Amino acid sequence: MRDGQRPPISFSLLAALLLVFLAASSGFAQAPPAAVRALSGAQLRKIDGWITEQGRDIAITPIITDILGLTKGDQTMSCRAFAAAGDGNEVHQIYVLPEGKGYLDAHFYNDKLDVYWTDKDFALIAALEGVRGQKPAPTSFADAQYGFGYEVAWWANYTDTH
């Protein structure tokens, strides 16, 4: 290319498309994750009623409470829980934690376990996952949001239909 000449149109078009692509993709990469729909106050009150009336007192396995940061080492934690059957061999449980520490939501399926610790308004705090016969492990907050969204939707539907 000599001084003063325009670059070929194909080069200009390619450069413009590249700039548009980079601008668009950088906007998508920074988009926040979708918010998880919360249970309504009425739905939580209904679940709390089931826990009180039909629930059972349960000692939570110390390894779970330790991973989630609710206890340290072999400390035990007892609470009251309500269980509901899902599709197939699925079981969904909600535990009311002592001392206003919120809830644990556990989902058992296909020899797997997902446990979500929530605050008193059922907002996600931490999570873990496990496979039968193996030690459970913490889940990243971003990874936990997908499964927790499923659990919230499941409990919302359950409370609305029972």
pLDDT recorded at residue 5: 56
Note whether residue 121 is domain-resident.
yes
Note whether residue 13 is domain-resident.
no
Note whether residue 63 is domain-resident.
yes
Note whether residue 14 is domain-resident.
no
Note whether residue 47 is domain-resident.
yes
Mean pLDDT of 9-20: 38
Q: Rounded to 5 degrees, what angle do the CA atoms 59, 61, 65 make?
A: 105
Query: What is the rounded distance in angstroms from the CA atom of residue 43 to the CA atom of residue 33?
Result: 24
Q: Which residues contact 58 (CB under 8 A, 6 or more apart)?
A: 78, 79, 80, 81, 95
Contact 138, 128 (CB under 8 A): yes
Comparison of pLDDT for 127 and 2, the residue scoring more: 127
Note whether residue 55 is domain-resident.
yes
pLDDT recorded at residue 24: 37
pLDDT recorded at residue 73: 86
Give the range of the structural domain holding residue 140, as residue numbers without chain letter.
Answer: 41-161
Give me the percent of the chain exceeding a pLDDT of 90.
70
Note whether residue 110 is domain-resident.
yes
Number of domains in the chain: 1
Average pLDDT over the chain reads 82
Contact 114, 135 (CB under 8 A): no
pLDDT recorded at residue 88: 86
User: How confident is the model over 76-99, as pLDDT tens digits?
Assistant: 899 999 999 988 889 999 999 999
